[in-house]
A and B are shown apart, each in its own frame.
Chain A
Amino acid sequence: MEQVDADSSPIDGTENASEFLLEARNIVKVFGPLRANDNVTLTLKSGEIHALLGENGAGKSTLVKIIYGALQPTSGSLLWNGAPVRIANPAAARAMGISMVFQHFSLFDALTVTENIALALPGNRNMTVLADSIATVSREYGLPLRPDALIADLSVGERQRIEIVRCLLQEPRLLIMDEPTAVLTPQEADRLFITLKRLAAEGCGILYISHRLDEVKRICHEATILRHGKFVSTVKPQEETATSLARLMVGGEVAVVKSGETAKSGPPLLELIDLTLPTDDPFGVTLKNIDLRVRSGEIVAIAGVAGNGQSEMFDAISGETLGNEKGAIKLAGEACGKENITERRHRNVAFVSEERLGHGAVPNFSLSENIVLTHHATGDGVVRKGLINRSAATEVIGRVTKVFDVRKNTADPEARSLSGGNLQKFVVGREIALKPKVLVINQPTWGVDAGAAARIRQALIDLARGGSAVLMISQDLEEIYEIADRIAVISRGELSPAYPADEISLERIGLLMAGTQDELGDNGELARLG
């Protein structure tokens, strides 16, 4: 499977017949009833950083997987240096000089850095020699790596470095990067941009997928925009504004979230007091001395790079993982650290987990059954005397569907048949239908289209302004600045104080995310703790 397919090399050998390194012409890709790519065209020159823009579900990932050989187009053609090619599989793509950094890294937790890199390179390699060249390349590009480290022990930023070094070792002519900054601190992103600009200057073409318009404007020479699988246009980002780019992506005006009046701080409804929780998972994060108060009427956001204890913190607050300290968690002033999630729900607290399918909802269950999942312990009559009342559950679906505009093709479909945005609206709506006093939500709009995201953010603001306390864990700093009243940052299981959103800069959040708050000295005067 290492061998390059014979017909994946250029069909006629005319090198540099075209001014373009890569041309994708009229690409169509059909999955069952869905046309993921519908006549998409993209051209890219050597030395060019080319953005691929579009909402979630616009077809960006499908297109790059076709270019990388991971998928075959239903119709359409690819040209490499002007010559038509068929890229049979990723190994063939790599042999041609196409490399890719995946959004969800293609790494193996149980293997070392060197082993991971060896798996992506052709042929049998001497591991010691490889480890040396990894060290050399990573030093040269300012991407420090320890070749013998196990992936499971590395941070998200380090994992991305492996992916990039893995690509660099193949001396790529085209580098594809799928949402590379989604998991980085602002400072790490800056360093990445320097690497990318250097690569482009060396003549490498870069296809850069992102939905962050400011960074596209900053580093990209060209941008191709997709919408609902169709080609919209190719523009020069420097000549556009963020708003005009957004309009091209969404295909209309972008919904604006109205924050209403500023928060009136009421009594604290959710309190974490010196919450410490060791993990028994060898790959997990231990929570250390977490202090946080969320008051009635406000939204507090927790920023941080994925894998720094966010999910452990969510599970601790929801009661899925129980600690030993009764007083470590207080809801509406009452200690409940040893209560399980059902008992906490009885206190009118609601939770929205990060993973929609498999955690927040059962994929192969109908929506009405998924209502029962979190409403069975509440007073709205979905379960009476141990028996399930399907009509009560159906009635809840009706309300959620109406308020949140959940699009579905039958009255009560399976959860997995809904699109990401619609399912997220459903699981958020399901909890808000309970009119909770406290809502804890992890990654409220991850992988969701702009329309659904705006609706969900608006619902969170409305809930808080109605007197509830909202705790939001998010990786998306734009989202955090858009709706949060106060911001705390989690890093390696430790939580910073919560700072008012208008008093903390992006740079400072970035430093806190990287876990360097100690070097900043004690800026205690900024912390307005309740």
Chain B
Amino acid sequence: MSELEAIILTIITASTPLLLAAIGELVTERSGVLNLGVEGMMIMGAVCGFATAHLSGSALLGIVAALFAGFAMSMLFAFLTQTLLTSQVASGLALTLLGLGLSGLIGESFTGVPGVKLAPLYIPLVSDLPFVGPILFGQDILVYFSLMLVPAVGYVLLRTRAGLIVTAVGGNHHSAHALGYNVIAVRYICIGFGGACSGLAGAYLSLAYTPQWIENMSSGRGWIALALVVFATWLPRRLLVGAYLFGTVWIMGLYVQGLGVAIPSQLLSSLPYLVTIAALIIISRNKTLTKINTPACIGQPFAPER
């Protein structure tokens, strides 16, 4: 295995959780809801996925458990913000704090126990090709899924009636309601999708990235996913580019360290966070771009009159 090949493989593993969480949050935000609880949903996905896989011995069952854990957390958020009309910012923070606490509690007995690694899904014949084989056709199921999810979400959002409705609800909930669309129901669905994706991102962390349970192992990836959505100006294809860009930054830190360059490891570890800030600055400076693409109703509560 060449060095370049190894680097590319690690970049894919670093980018996948960001991509999964961000594509889910993108759909949530497109419907006009800001869910700041990505970090909490992700870490719950990680711990539930790990625990289930460890107990059952099946990584696939772990993935299913993680998906449901993220979904369940997001429904808590949806009930608060959509039914009880609480502040989305505060509720998202609450979700993150609860998720971090709860995952620590659940995960305590799983610290240090051996995990189940999600096996790569070799596609016969083509995966034996030199260089491109392992990179393109030797990944695990979540990598394939994340890469298929982006065009699928892009197609649904931008080319179908369902996507048009989501965009309409996020763009002007009063108009959507006046036309007879059930704004709250659409938002529940989009929040749930976001939660499930965050759960999958968590599963990837604890089943593929580092197949073990470490407390707070999401280490801010949920927040970076949120920043990625802004960076991609709510467009799926830009999200793909952004997630792999961030994954590269994450890996470059580790890689440079491995080369024995005399840079404090902490500085390299802080690179993803600093790059996130830089990315936010770059994209926020372009007022026209952000204003045109931002879902106009994002963060605003909606209560239909009855």
Contact = CB atoms under 8 A, between A and B. Distances in A.
A–B proximity contact (CB within 8 A) = yes
Contacts of B182: 1
B160, B171, B178, B287: most-surrounded residue (chain A CB, <10 A): B178
Interface in B162-176: 164-165, 167-168, 171-172, 174-176
Interface residues of A, number: 31
Contacts of B178: 70, 90, 102, 106
A110 interface: yes
Contacts of A70: 177-178, 180
A107 B305 contact: no
Interface string A276-297: 0000111100000000000000
A169 to B, nearest CB: 14
B1 interface: no
Given A107-B172, A280-B287, A1 B167 contact: no
A89 B292 contact: no
B175 A107 contact: yes
B181 interface: yes
A71 B305 contact: yes
B306 A109 contact: no
Contact of B180 (A1, A102, A110, A282): A1
Contacts, number: 67
A400 to B, nearest CB: 30
Interface string B273-306: 0000000000000011001100010000000011
Contacts of A102: 178
B245 interface: no
A529 interface: no
Contact of B164 (A69, A89, A94, A118): A118
Contacts of A281: 291
A237 B164 CA distance: 43
A68 to B, nearest CB: 9
A313 interface: no
Contacts of A124: 160-161
The contact size tier of chain B is 20 to 34
Nearest to B177: A70
A119 B180 CA distance: 10
B185 interface: yes
Nearest to A115: B164
B175 A105 contact: yes
A453 to B, nearest CB: 25
Contacts of B306: 71-72
Given A71-B305, A119-B164, A110 B179 contact: no
Given A91-B180, A280-B287, A111 B165 contact: no
B185 A1 contact: yes
Contacts of B179: 90, 106, 119-120
Given A94-B180, A282-B291, A108 B171 contact: yes
Task: State the main secondary structure of chain A at its contact with B.
Answer: loop
A94 B172 CA distance: 20
A89 B180 CA distance: 6
A1 B178 CA distance: 13
A381 B165 CA distance: 53
B171 A118 contact: no
Contacts of A94: 180
Interface in B185-218: 185
Contacts of A119: 164-165, 168, 176, 179, 181
B164 A111 contact: yes
A31 B303 CA distance: 14
A111 B166 CA distance: 12
Contacts of A93: 180
A1, A31, A92: most-surrounded residue (chain B CB, <10 A): A1
Interface in A72-96: 72, 89-94
B279 to A, nearest CB: 22
Contacts of A72: 306
A90 B296 CA distance: 23
Interface in A92-139: 92-94, 102, 104-111, 115, 118-120, 124-125
A115 B177 CA distance: 16
B292 A110 contact: yes
B165 A110 contact: no
A89, A106, A109, A120: most-surrounded residue (chain B CB, <10 A): A106
A110 B296 contact: yes
A111 B170 CA distance: 11
Contacts of A106: 172, 174-176, 178-179
B292 A90 contact: no
A27 to B, nearest CB: 15
A305 B64 CA distance: 57
Given A1-B182, A70-B178, A109 B161 contact: no
B305 A31 contact: yes
Contacts of B168: 108, 111, 119
Nearest to B178: A106
Contacts of B164: 111, 115, 118-119
A108 B175 contact: yes
B171 A110 contact: yes
B273 to A, nearest CB: 30
A281 B288 CA distance: 8
A110 B181 contact: no
Nearest to A150: B292
Interface string A298-330: 000000000000000000000000000000000
A334 to B, nearest CB: 33
A89 B181 CA distance: 9
Given A1-B185, A124-B161, A111 B167 contact: yes
Contacts of A120: 179
B161, B179, B292: most-surrounded residue (chain A CB, <10 A): B179
26 contacts: A1-B180, A1-B181, A1-B185, A31-B305, A70-B177, A70-B180, A71-B306, A72-B306, A89-B180, A90-B178, A90-B180, A93-B180, A106-B178, A108-B172, A108-B176, A110-B296, A111-B164, A111-B168, A118-B161, A119-B164, A119-B168, A119-B181, A281-B291, A282-B288, A282-B291, A283-B291
Given A94-B180, A118-B164, A119-B176, 19 more contacts: A1-B180, A1-B185, A70-B177, A71-B306, A89-B180, A102-B178, A104-B174, A108-B167, A108-B168, A108-B175, A109-B171, A110-B292, A111-B168, A111-B171, A118-B161, A119-B164, A119-B179, A125-B161, A282-B288
Interface of A: 1, 31, 69-72, 89-94, 102, 104-111, 115, 118-120, 124-125, 280-283
Interface of B: 160-161, 164-165, 167-168, 171-172, 174-182, 185, 287-288, 291-292, 296, 305-306
Q: Which 8 A-B pairs have the closest CB atoms?
A: A90-B180, A106-B175, A106-B178, A91-B180, A108-B171, A89-B180, A110-B171, A124-B161
